[in-house]
Chains A and B, each alone.
Chain A
Amino acid sequence: MKFKYEIEGGNFSKAGNASSEVKKILKQLNVPPPIIKRLVVALYEGEVNVVAHAWNGCIYVEIEPERIDVKIEDKGPGIPDIEQAMQEGFSTASQAVREMGFGAGMGLPNMKKNADQLNISSKVGKGTIVELVIFLNGKR
């Protein structure tokens, strides 16, 4: 099963809508709740990142019997130093993003913690692609 969601940069009133839809689908498919939580927390952090930093983006979710693949692709400023961005506490978020309760430099580390696999590629001035995998059979 494949799903695609479009994300609007800067629109915090819609941030989380895609993650909420994915959560509903996973519940309907009877995916175990701890796995749903790990996936939607990672996805929501990713969705908030697109809203907070990018101009627009897309989330692709592919659900298979043994794994869930998520690709979050955005057009935006990109990440100049991914290693630095992965450090807890590092943030370039605006004041507006911080007022929404985010932007404390916890997003990417938290995505890494929840996903079984995480891959980030980025081009400055073009955009960022975050790919994450969660295995449904407990394999890490």
Chain B
Amino acid sequence: MKISQLVEVLEGKVVCGEQFLDKEVQYGFASDLMSDVLTLDSDKLVLITGLNNLQTIRTAEMADIECVIFVRNKKVLPPMIEIACEHEMVLVECRFSMFNAVARLSTAGLKPVY
């Protein structure tokens, strides 16, 4: 699915990377634990998390993740946007719980990593 579809399903707000909404994503991984995110090998991965700090963005950078969804109404902070823009990431804020967001994305066709 395209990132734009994912934003629609989540009624999300795109905080940065609007020019990349046509990129395709295939897999989703929901975690607040960045070490678990760093164990994944999948490409075209969306990270769904409630952890809104700089290390979330650094983790996405190292793991080649191009789209991060922040659930539970967590707000993206300015230093996070700076690094995310540099690495051409799409950051999306979403008011739903992680459970709700994941359920919607799964119904829409996003696949689990395992």
Interface residues on B, range: 20 to 34
Q: Which of A19, A48, A101, A103 contacts B32 (CB 8 A)?
A: A101
The main secondary structure of chain A at its interface with chain B is helix
B20-38: contact bitstring with A at CB < 8 Å (1 yes, 0 no)?
A: 0000000000001111101
Assess the B35–A19 pair: CB atoms within 8 A: no
Q: Indicate whether B63 reaches chain A with its CB closer than 8 angstroms.
A: yes
Contact-residue bracket for chain A: 20 to 34
Please tell me if the beta carbons of B38 and A45 are within 8 angstroms of each other in the complex: yes
Instruction: State in angstroms the CA–CA spacing of A44 and B83 once bound together.
Output: 16
- Known: A13-B54, A104-B35; 11 extra A-B contacts, CB below 8 A, are A12-B55, A16-B58, A40-B62, A44-B38, A44-B59, A45-B35, A100-B53, A102-B34, A104-B33, A110-B35, A110-B38
Which residues does A use to contact B, with CB under 8 Å?
A: 12-13, 15-16, 19-20, 23, 33, 37, 40-41, 44-45, 48, 100-104, 106-107, 110, 113
Contacts from B to A (Cβ < 8 Å): 32-36, 38-39, 51, 53-56, 58-59, 61-64, 79, 83
